């Protein structure tokens, strides 16, 4: 589901402007782009990946050969981006994968270690240097702004888009169920919000807008049918060998396919995402339903990157594939969310 926004207030470098361009914004170091030539073995497509790529081709209305060409390396790039962010948190800024074109951003000058990691990929990577911030820095600052905005406007729905590539942090306000509202101008003028905004790196921009009210937490995962949602992946802990994940906003009381076998154990900190887990009195194996009646093994995990196509299966939506539009999203109490963009016409 797409969300439309109405521009209201822009703020940057401590200057707050209504419906206009930022004034006196800090100037970041000029960026430069280098092209890294990949030397790894050519990407291959396994049976599970081919199933998803066929779904993408169907959804987009493109030939299968084109879909394979555009998507064959996306999982490898997502794994690379995850490792790069974990190993080089002060350098890694963003990663994106668009129809076979891989791009990477770094805060300053590309390091030798990051270069070696990227060149091990089986395709070229375009690297933007001197972005001016790391992903960790701008996410922390953006989440601080989101928290300050929610504290300044209790009862009002607040969403924050943290674009780690452009440095644009957008705070959107919309009416709560009670009808409570706050204007973007008033929110931008809050002392606490201004103080949090001052933490943004030089070159970043902070914008306050009014939300039209479309969009929301439409979180759908592949798996078995729960009372109000769809089960995500199987998990375990030292105390409980079998369990399942689902979205935290689904509610703590869930039955699995009508069977009362789940017990709520904990929810992930809302700053880390929209997730909770339940222990299960029945066995939970490392497999998930990727379509009706068919199982697939869980083999690895990686962070999603913008431009990547992700396929999912839910009890309401069945099989669908979306393109990752943005990461580092905050919506009310939740942060670290991913925004998907469905194919045109769906």
The model's pLDDT over 234-271, given as tens digits with 9 standing for 90+, comes to 888 888 878 889 989 888 898 887 788 889 999 989 99
* pLDDT beyond 70 at 7: no
In angstroms, the CA 29 to CA 202 distance is: 9
pLDDT average, residue stretch 159-164: 91
Confidence label for 137 from pLDDT (cuts 50, 70 and 90): very high
Domain extents in the chain: 32-129, 135-211, 234-317
* pLDDT beyond 50 at 34: yes
* pLDDT beyond 90 at 129: yes
In angstroms, the CA 310 to CA 74 distance is: 10
Confidence label for 186 from pLDDT (cuts 50, 70 and 90): confident
| pLDDT of amino acid 343 | 67
* pLDDT beyond 60 at 53: yes
Q: Which of 15, 10, 34 is nearest to 26 (CA)?
A: 15
| pLDDT of amino acid 195 | 94
* pLDDT beyond 80 at 180: no
In this predicted structure, which of 34-38, 124-128, 209-213, 218-222 has the lowest mean pLDDT?
218-222
| pLDDT of amino acid 300 | 84
List helix spans (H) across 153-293. Answer: 184-188, 191-197
- The SS3 assignment for 135 reads helix
192 or 176, greater pLDDT: 192
In angstroms, the CA 193 to CA 208 distance is: 11
pLDDT average, residue stretch 76-102: 94
In angstroms, the CA 211 to CA 218 distance is: 17
Spell out the CATH class of 135-211: alpha beta
Among 11-25, 214-228, 229-243, name the most confident range: 229-243
List helix spans (H) across 182-289. Answer: 184-188, 191-197
- The SS3 assignment for 74 reads helix
pLDDT average, residue stretch 45-61: 88
* pLDDT beyond 90 at 344: no
* pLDDT beyond 70 at 178: no
91 or 237, greater pLDDT: 91
CA angle 271, 277, 281 (to 5 degrees): 170
Contact predicate 172/128, CB 8 Å? no
Rounded to a whole number of angstroms, the distance between the first and last alpha carbons of the chain is 9
Q: Which of 139, 193, 174 is nearest to 336 (CA)?
A: 139
pLDDT average, residue stretch 125-133: 95
In angstroms, the CA 283 to CA 301 distance is: 21
List helix spans (H) across 153-188. Answer: 184-188
Q: What is the pLDDT of residues 280-338, one digit of tens each?
A: 888 777 778 888 767 787 888 889 999 999 888 887 778 888 899 999 999 999 999 99
| pLDDT of amino acid 19 | 27
Q: Which of 221, 187, 232, 224 is nearest to 206 (CA)?
A: 187
* pLDDT beyond 50 at 175: yes
| pLDDT of amino acid 4 | 32
Confidence label for 216 from pLDDT (cuts 50, 70 and 90): very low
Contact predicate 164/328, CB 8 Å? yes
CA angle 314, 269, 206 (to 5 degrees): 95
| pLDDT of amino acid 345 | 54
Cα-Cα-Cα-Cα dihedral sign, residues 62, 64, 70, 74: positive
218 or 231, greater pLDDT: 231
Contact predicate 183/152, CB 8 Å? no
User: Count H helices, E strands: the chain?
Assistant: 7, 18
């Amino acid at each position: 589901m797409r969300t439309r926004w109405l521009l209201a207030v822009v703020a940057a470098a401590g200057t707050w402007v209504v419906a206009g361009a930022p004034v006196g914004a800090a100037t970041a170091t000029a960026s430069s782009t280098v092209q890294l030539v990949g030397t790894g073995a050519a990407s291959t497509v396994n049976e599970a990946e081919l199933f998803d790529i066929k779904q993408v081709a169907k959804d987009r209305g493109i030939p299968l050969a084109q879909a394979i060409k555009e998507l064959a390396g996306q999982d490898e790039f997502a794994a690379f981006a995850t490792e790069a962010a974990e190993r080089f948190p002060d350098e890694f800024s963003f990663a994106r994968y668009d129809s076979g074109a891989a791009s990477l951003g770094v805060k300053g000058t590309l390091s030798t270690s990051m270069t070696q990691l990227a060149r091990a990929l089986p395709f070229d990577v375009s690297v933007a240097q001197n972005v001016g911030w790391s992903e960790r820095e701008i996410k922390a600052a953006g989440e601080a702004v989101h928290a300050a905005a929610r504290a300044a406007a209790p009862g009002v729905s607040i969403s924050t888009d943290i674009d780690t590539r452009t440095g644009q942090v957008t705070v959107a306000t919309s009416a709560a169920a009670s009808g409570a509202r706050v204007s973007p101008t008033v929110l931008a003028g809050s002392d606490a919000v201004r103080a949090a905004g001052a933490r943004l790196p030089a070159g970043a921009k902070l914008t306050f807008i009014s939300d039209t009210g479309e969009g929301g937490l439409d979180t759908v995962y592949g798996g078995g049918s729960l009372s109000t949602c769809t089960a995500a992946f199987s998990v375990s802990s030292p105390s409980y060998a079998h369990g399942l994940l689902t979205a935290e906003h689904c509610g703590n009381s869930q039955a699995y396919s009508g069977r009362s076998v789940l017990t709520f154990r904990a929810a992930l900190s809302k700053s880390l995402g929209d997730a909770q887990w339940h222990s299960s009195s029945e066995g939970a194996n490392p497999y998930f339903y990727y379509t009706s009646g068919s199982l697939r093994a869980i083999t690895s995990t990686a962070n999603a990157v913008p431009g990547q196509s992700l396929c999912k299966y839910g009890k309401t939506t069945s099989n669908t594939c979306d393109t990752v539009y943005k990461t580092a999203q905050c919506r009310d109490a939740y942060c670290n969310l991913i925004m998907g963009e469905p194919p045109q016409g769906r």
